[in-house]
Amino acid sequence: MSETTHAGDPARHGPHPDALARARHPHRMPHRSMLFLPGSNAAMLSTAYIYGADAVMFDLEDGVALREKDSARLLVMHTLRSGLYAGVETVVRINPLDTPFGRADLEAAVRAGADVIRLPKTETAQDIVDLEAAVESIERDCGREVGSTRLMAAVESAAGVVNAVAIASSSPRLTSIALAGFDYVIDMRTTRGDGSELFYARCAVLHAARVARIAAYDVVFSDVEDEEGFLAEVDVIKRLGFDGKSLINPRQIDLLHNAYAPTQDELDRARLVVEAAEHAAAEGLGVVSLGGKMIDAPIIEAARRTISYAAASGVRLETTGTTS
Ligand SMILES: CC(C)(COP(=O)(O)OP(=O)(O)OC[C@H]1O[C@@H](n2cnc3c(N)ncnc32)[C@H](O)[C@@H]1OP(=O)(O)O)[C@@H](O)C(=O)NCCC(=O)NCCSC(=O)C[C@@](O)(CC(=O)O)C(=O)O
Ligand SMILES: [Mg+2]
């Protein structure tokens, strides 16, 4: 692939500052919604930055027909370089590296400045180690800051789920892990149902993410007309502890963000906790207390996350499904 230089090319100027902020302060940057966009769909690629997803995922893998693999790669590369998505986290789902398309996808995505590479069908930690080596070589070759491309592992099989802790801990570049439900249930010889078929995998992926201190994304919900079913699934995954979900349709974004938004009471309490923590830090106090009760670090961290969710999409409106 030939490399052209032009002003504003993210491949020349490193990652968007927003991406660096996410890497340094993950609790302040929500990872709730990741919108899948088929890389071959020019109309979707030219408009989807307006929908307000936390991240968009340009898909070069299963959402793209074989005969469109090369044209989709070019389309995604030009979209990344266009600057349209400068304020949104950009993710490219490449084809696996052992397919005829994987290396070319990776080369194009890293050179064009993708914030994150999503590796589908990750089964072992070695898959990520190999990906990291390939990414580093491309970064060096094109002059992109080494280490600036982040990685996401998508786990889509029994092997991936069983190896989730090793995968999640395999690279400092790996900032998130996603469970992919459709391929997973095929591998498990079952079908999507009431969620019980995903329960073990969800828990395994989530525990791996927490051990490695990275973000965890839940599966896509395929029926875009079934708002009630979508919200029921969101309720389950939020309770389990997922940071968010991969999505296939813009209509799912606000529903998800509203479900993750705090109530006004939760926000007020979080602000008090953070104020108390900041006061204690300013006074050089080792112990943070609020109303006579000691507050520990995980509570302060959770309070900061609550404030970041409210900053991103307001407080939760229980009746309308939207946020204020
Ligand atoms: C489902 C449907 C056909 C419905 O279409 P509809 O037209 O009925 O939708 P409408 O709501 O009417 O669209 C209103 C307006 O939004 C625009 N719009 C729609 N969707 C948009 C979007 N995604 N991005 C930007 N724009 C969008 C649309 O163009 C229109 O724009 P406009 O005409 O201007 O008004 C459509 O959404 C769609 O194609 N989704 C993406 C599907 C996809 O990517 N599948 C592969 C990934 S899963 C996989 O691979 C499995 C996995 O690997 C997963 C894992 O790894 O996690 C595993 O194993 O589990
Ligand atoms: Mg899949």
**Residue 38 Cα, ligand 1 centroid: separation in angstroms?**
7
Tell me, using a 6 A CB cutoff, whether residue 154 lines ligand 1. Answer: yes
Tell me, using a 6 A CB cutoff, whether residue 161 lines ligand 1. Answer: no
pLDDT digits (tens, 9 = 90+) for 23-61: 444 445 789 999 999 999 999 999 999 999 999 999 999
Please list, residue by residue across 204-230, b when 16 or more beta carbons sit within 10 angstroms of its beta carbon and e when fewer do: bbbebbeebebbbbbbbbeeeeeeeeb
Tell me, using a 6 A CB cutoff, whether residue 250 lines ligand 1. Answer: yes
Tell me, using a 6 A CB cutoff, whether residue 253 lines ligand 1. Answer: no
Residues whose CB is less than 8 angstroms from the CB of residue 225 and which lie 6 or more positions away in sequence, other chains included: none
Mean pLDDT of 157-161: 98
Do residues 89 and 17 lie in contact, with contact meaning Cβ atoms separated by under 8 Å? no
pLDDT digits (tens, 9 = 90+) for 180-237: 999 999 999 999 999 999 999 999 999 999 999 999 999 999 999 999 999 999 999 9
Instruction: Write the single-letter amino acid at 84.
Output: L
**248, 251, 253, 254: residue to mutate for ligand 1 pocket, most atoms within 8 A of CB:** 248
Structural domains of the chain sorted by starting position, each given as residue range(s) with its CATH number in brackets: 17-260 (3.20.20.60), 264-313 (no CATH)
**Residue 238 Cα, ligand 1 centroid: separation in angstroms?**
22
Tell me, using a 6 A CB cutoff, whether residue 187 lines ligand 1. Answer: no
How far lies 227's CA from each of 34, 223, 251, 256, in Å?
17, 8, 9, 10
CA dihedral (77, 79, 84, 88) in degrees, to 10, reads -60
Helix, strand, or coil (residue 174): strand
Residue 87's pLDDT is 86
> Of all protein residues, whose CA lies closest to atom 36 belonging to ligand 1?
249
Tell me, using a 6 A CB cutoff, whether residue 68 lines ligand 1. Answer: no
Query: Which phi and psi (to 5°) does residue 86 adopt?
Result: -60, -30
The end-to-end CA distance of the chain, in Å, is 46
CB count within 10 Å of CB 136 equals: 16
pLDDT digits (tens, 9 = 90+) for 232-270: 999 999 999 999 999 999 999 999 999 999 999 999 999
Tell me, using a 6 A CB cutoff, whether residue 36 lines ligand 1. Answer: yes
User: pTM of the full predicted structure?
Assistant: 0.88
